[in-house]
Chain A
Amino acid sequence: MMTIVLKQDPAMSASVANKTGTQVKPTPTELAASTTPLVEGLLRLGDSALVLSQRLSAWCGHGPAIEEDMALTNVALDLLGQSRMWLTLAGSVEGAGRDEDALAYLRDANQFRNVLLTELPDEDYARTIVRQFFFDVWHYFLLERLTLSTNPDISAIAAKSLKEVTYHVRRASDMIVRLGDGTAESHQRMQDAVDALWPYTGELFVDDAIDLVWEKEGWGPKVSSLQSAWSEHVGQVMAEATLTLPAAEAAMHAAFRGGRTGRHTEHLGFLLAEMQFLQRAYPGASW
Chain B
Amino acid sequence: MIDAQQVMGWLQKVADPEIPVLSIVDLGIVREVSWDQDTCVVTITPTYSGCPAMFEITQAIEQCLSEHQIKSVRIATRLSPAWTTDWMTEQGHVALKGYGIAPPVQRAVDISGISRRPAMPPVPCPQCGSNATRLISDFGSTSCKALYRCSACREPFDYFKTH
The chain A residues found within 8 Å of chain B, CB to CB, are 67, 70-71, 74-75, 77-82, 84-85, 137, 140-141, 144, 152, 155-157, 159-164, 166-167, 169-171, 173-174, 177, 233, 237
Contacts and interface: CB of A to CB of B under 8 A. Distances in A.
Interface residues of B, number: 30
27 contacts: A67-B136, A67-B137, A67-B147, A70-B139, A70-B140, A74-B140, A75-B139, A78-B50, A78-B143, A81-B46, A82-B49, A85-B49, A85-B79, A137-B114, A141-B114, A156-B82, A157-B79, A159-B79, A160-B80, A163-B111, A167-B109, A167-B138, A170-B114, A170-B117, A170-B138, A174-B117, A177-B116
Given A70-B137, A74-B139, A170-B138, 17 more contacts: A67-B137, A71-B139, A77-B50, A78-B49, A78-B50, A79-B50, A81-B50, A85-B79, A159-B81, A160-B80, A161-B49, A163-B82, A164-B48, A169-B114, A171-B138, A174-B117, A233-B114
B141 interface: yes
Query: SS class of chain B's interface: helix, strand, loop or mixed?
Result: loop
A156 B79 contact: yes
Contacts of A159: 79-82
A174 B143 contact: no
Contacts of B109: 163, 166-167
Contacts, number: 92
B94 interface: no
A283 B43 CA distance: 33
Contacts of A77: 48, 50-52, 143
Nearest to B80: A156
B93 interface: no
Nearest to A141: B114
